Structure 1
Amino acid sequence: MPAGAQGDFSTLDAWLGWLETAHPVGIDMGLGRIGCVREAMGLRFACPVITVGGTNGKGSTCAMLEAILLAAGYRVGCHTSPHLLTFNERARINGEQASDAELLPHFQAVEQARAGLREPVSLTYFEFTLLAILHLFASRGLDAVILEVGLGGRLDGTNIIDADVAVITSVDIDHTQFLGTTREAIGLEKAGIFRAGRPAIIGDPLPPESMLRYGDQLGADLWLVGRDFRLQTIEGDRQQWSYRGRSVSHRALAYPALRGANQLLNACAALGALEALRDRVPVTAQDVRMGLATVELPGRFQVLPGRPSVILDVAHNPHAAAVLAQNLGSMGYFPFTYAVFGAMEDKDIVQIVATLKNDIDHWCLTDLPTSRAARAESLASIVREQIGMDGENPATQRSTAPDTVADAPATAGQPASGLALGGIGRSVKATPDEARSVRTFHSPALAYQDAASRVTENDRIIVFGSFLTVAGVLAHRRLQQH
């Protein structure tokens, strides 16, 4: 039981509930507090550790590394964040989520070490749970550990472990209040996971100069995409690609099972990391093929089976929105695209909407269950401004069509408000003047229900933005299926 806490801490939910308020703020950058507890726990790894940072593509790259190493027969631990539906997603051993029973002793070990310090410190939710998962991994005699950076790099909790190989997937503008407002500033923060004399794999084709300078001054072994390793494709061939590194080449590789235009770059960075570790965890071309063919990761341009097409994507910054727009454009023709969108208030929402406004016809905007989220009405104002829809124009007021829910009061099971052009429904063919709508809702589930009630089987629904947006829709669909 945590020092000073009361209640039953025999369940994982009890620990996680306590951690929600155990530290004064949710994000508290720095390695001092977590480093003290790590030392008290004696956390060390004999196996290679791969730490993956970057603005976008971290989770996908971790998933590919994990899948390839598992295909090669290695015992692998993989820590990612945040989770979509259950906390256990953050801790995978040999491809399986750790159970509550497996995790509990390691939460207790963290608390014992924390409370036993001469001057006890408090830890954030991320820091405490990261230590517990690292302690679990250290107890299992693994062959490799993969860590996804939570935020930035230099001051992120994962940086208490000296990575044998560091990977940076991409650098773009995000989390500016913590990392800076330019690519140069953000790149320098992300380069903080580099170590002297150890490989640093940079998968961004245009890395910030600050990152390269830091790596050179540190004495890291910089691997640059396009110089030290590269992907090669044949024009017109969307079935195969090749990897060429410093001393390893893999030809006739199938495209990764993860969909999206950026996934080849992520796969290339993953293979660069594995080439750098080839003396410790060698993999064959067949291991690579099997891993890329079987890799799975929910919420990364995930196209659900069935019709209408439903796409889930945790794109929540302008760079990810641009990739999402490219991916949507490659899907072919759909009469209408419905978007379920919710985002945190600190994101560049204007640029996200501007990037995707030409790909989306109907916006179902949602509140999210956190004080950090932008309100749906605020999102609606931005969308209306970007698409040229005047909120005061009578043509854009709430629809009175019987097949919409725009006029219903904001009660359970109903939208917070609705703004529609003409009341487009399942059986109504929209005219050009009725081709766009903006509606707001209290939850992702309600927003998704509205989109699903209006869409035809030839249309598509894209659920994107915060992890909480995708998680809300996934949870709703799971509930409906059961």
Structure 2
Amino acid sequence: MHYEEALEAVRGLAATGVNFGLERVRELLAVLGDPQAGLFAAHIGGTNGKGSVAALVSAIARAGGLKVGTFTSPHLSSYTERFLIDGQPVTGERLAGLITTHWNLLAPVARQVRPTEFELHTVLALQLFREERVDVAVLEVGLGGRLDATNVIRPAVAVITNVALDHQEYLGETIAEIAREKAGIIKPGVPLVTAAEGGALDVIAGACRELDAPLVRVGADVRWEPRDDSGEKQGLDIYGRRAVYRGLALPLAGRHQQVNAACAVAAAEVLGEHAPSLGPRAIREGLAAVNWPGRFEVLAGQPTVVLDAAHNPAAAVVLRDTLVARFPGREIILVLGVLGDKDRAGIAAVLAPAARAVVVTRPPSERAGDWERVAVEAGKHCARVETVPDCRAALTRAQILAGAGGVVVVTGSIYLIGALRSAIT
């Protein structure tokens, strides 16, 4: 099968929607000989920042001379971005070959158990990592943790970045309920790194005690202090458990990324207990080299364009605060597209007051739903709100409104970011 044919074949096998559980993934992995067994892995969950931490841990491991497989979701432009080897997406031919080679084993089982598309992707990623003989696999949790497809692995370290309200229809209505789902990735005896706070930390710490899993608290056991920004990179010191790392350079914008960097360093220190090359040099070089598009990605021009995949109120707060710090006194024009299953009112309430105008558009996803409802919510907080169905036309309209000196911020959905990034870069 060629690339597009292989993707269509996978989609044809997959059940639609969200269907939690590990039984289907385990059955599919079993027919492949359990490729997850024996992987040296980092498993990264949390509400926000887990993709950034996955990118940071992967970059540190590469800087340490290790061959790294990284599995994240969703993608910006191409499905191949979900499957990275040493920081680069696999080729379409490689992914198609992987699917074709194992089709006769996977397809009969998949037709019987009806896995989701994400479950199939997880299985393919684990098989790919075995075939590529990666030294370390970095897997980002898709949704929740306890029943997420990636939770079939036993990692060397697990990370829960933070816990906030998101996906309540699947994970629970309260922080404590969501924390319990995310704490499901904690394994007996496996160190857990977290920057969670308050009640969420209480739940996570309790799970660690029950499972005799060492707990590393970012903000207490591992700390960081910001330094003055240096050009396009922000500076920070991180006080780890094994060493102090002074004068680190981080290309990812926003103070929240300093917390993510501290999480990644804490995880790398745990991995370094088994992989000695993950020492201070790897941490310094890895952080300086990390690249994670679509997360407060600033594209120079007139106007400046910022791409950020904030898709819940907590992420919107971080985006707003970063905008204020990075662009003081400059007018903000929002291009806002939010999926129907997200907290549209909460996101609009945070971001719209910071904007001179909001251009609401339809995210290119079947989950867009009644996308124009976002304009009603934004109109409660901003005097000028327009709706433009086509996202590229919405970007053009926002650029006109911003003028040469303004800042256009595209946000609300990673699908929107992916659709527009290729049009700008």
Give the TM-score category using the shorter length.
Answer: over 0.9
Selected match of 1:268 from 253, 262, 270: 262
- Indicate conservation of the 8 Å contact 1:362/1:438, yes or no: yes
* 1:219-260 C-alpha deviation (Å, 9 max, x unpaired): 2111112332221346x6775422223333222222x10111
Partner of 1:378: 373
Selected match of 1:37 from 15, 20, 28: 28
Selected match of 1:197 from 180, 183, 189: 189
- Indicate conservation of the 8 Å contact 2:15/2:117, yes or no: no
Shift of 1:291: 1.3
Helix, strand or coil for the counterpart of 1:172? coil
Distance (whole Å) between structure 2 residues aligned to residue 476 and residue 118 of structure 1: 37
CA shift in 2, pair 1:243/1:181, >3 Å: same
- Indicate conservation of the 8 Å contact 1:52/1:148, yes or no: yes
CA shift in 2, pair 1:194/1:110, >3 Å: farther
One-letter code aligned to 1:53: G
- Indicate conservation of the 8 Å contact 1:274/1:281, yes or no: no
CA shift in 2, pair 1:110/1:334, >3 Å: farther
One-letter code aligned to 1:457: A
Distance (whole Å) between structure 1 residues aligned to residue 102 and residue 112 of structure 2: 12
Whether 2:404 is the aligned partner of 1:457: answer: yes
- Indicate conservation of the 8 Å contact 2:364/2:419, yes or no: no
Shift of 1:267: 0.5
Greater C-alpha Rg: 1
Whether 2:222 is the aligned partner of 1:222: answer: no
Helix, strand or coil for the counterpart of 1:198? coil
Partner of 1:241: 236
Distance (whole Å) between structure 2 residues aligned to residue 116 and residue 448 of structure 1: 45
Helix, strand or coil for the counterpart of 2:112? coil
Selected match of 1:231 from 200, 224, 230: 224
- Indicate conservation of the 8 Å contact 1:19/1:124, yes or no: no
Structure 1 window deviating more from structure 2 (94-103 vs 374-383): it is 374-383
Partner of 1:412: none
One-letter code aligned to 1:214: A
Partner of 1:98: 90
Shift of 1:437: 1.8
Distance (whole Å) between structure 1 residues aligned to residue 229 and residue 103 of structure 2: 54
- Indicate conservation of the 8 Å contact 2:164/2:175, yes or no: yes
Distance (whole Å) between structure 1 residues aligned to residue 101 and residue 118 of structure 2: 16
CA shift in 2, pair 1:39/1:247, >3 Å: same
Partner of 2:17: 26
Partner of 1:407: none
Between Structure 1 and Structure 2, the one with more helix by share is 2
One-letter code aligned to 1:266: N
Helix, strand or coil for the counterpart of 2:192? strand
Helix, strand or coil for the counterpart of 2:113? coil
Distance (whole Å) between structure 1 residues aligned to residue 311 and residue 352 of structure 2: 15
Give the count of matched residue pairs: 419
Selected match of 2:168 from 160, 165, 176: 176
Selected match of 1:75 from 49, 67, 78: 67
Shift of 1:261: 1.5
- Indicate conservation of the 8 Å contact 2:43/2:139, yes or no: yes
CA shift in 2, pair 1:458/1:70, >3 Å: same
Partner of 2:321: 326
Distance (whole Å) between structure 1 residues aligned to residue 124 and residue 423 of structure 2: 30
Distance (whole Å) between structure 2 residues aligned to residue 29 and residue 111 of structure 1: 23
- Indicate conservation of the 8 Å contact 2:52/2:260, yes or no: yes
One-letter code aligned to 1:111: W
- Indicate conservation of the 8 Å contact 2:14/2:120, yes or no: no
- Indicate conservation of the 8 Å contact 1:75/1:144, yes or no: yes
Distance (whole Å) between structure 1 residues aligned to residue 324 and residue 11 of structure 2: 40
Partner of 1:130: 122
Partner of 1:409: none
Matches within 5 A, 1:63-462: 63-117=55-109, 120-206=112-198, 207-233=200-226, 240-254=235-249, 256-282=250-276, 283-387=278-382, 436-462=383-409
Shift of 1:163: 1.5
Distance (whole Å) between structure 2 residues aligned to residue 94 and residue 371 of structure 1: 32
Distance (whole Å) between structure 1 residues aligned to residue 253 and residue 302 of structure 2: 18
CA shift in 2, pair 1:119/1:15, >3 Å: closer
Shift of 1:376: 3.6
| Greater relative contact order (CA < 8 Å, ≥ 6 in sequence) | 2
CA shift in 2, pair 1:46/1:476, >3 Å: same
- Indicate conservation of the 8 Å contact 1:163/1:193, yes or no: no
**5+ unaligned residues in a row in structure 1: which ranges?**
1-9, 388-435
- Indicate conservation of the 8 Å contact 2:348/2:374, yes or no: no
* 1:284-337 C-alpha deviation (Å, 9 max, x unpaired): 322222211111111100001223110000000011000001101102334421
CA RMSD of aligned residues (A): 2.0
Shift of 1:472: 1.7
* 1:339-371 C-alpha deviation (Å, 9 max, x unpaired): 111111121111111111221111110112333
Shift of 1:338: 1.0
One-letter code aligned to 1:11: H
Distance (whole Å) between structure 1 residues aligned to residue 145 and residue 124 of structure 2: 19
- Indicate conservation of the 8 Å contact 1:334/1:459, yes or no: no
CA shift in 2, pair 1:227/1:334, >3 Å: closer
* 1:195-217 C-alpha deviation (Å, 9 max, x unpaired): 10111111224444222212211
What percent identity do the matched residue pairs reach? 34
Shift of 1:117: 4.4
- Indicate conservation of the 8 Å contact 2:15/2:115, yes or no: no
- Indicate conservation of the 8 Å contact 2:216/2:222, yes or no: yes
CA shift in 2, pair 1:331/1:21, >3 Å: same
- Indicate conservation of the 8 Å contact 2:352/2:358, yes or no: no
Helix, strand or coil for the counterpart of 1:120? helix
Distance (whole Å) between structure 2 residues aligned to residue 231 and residue 333 of structure 1: 25
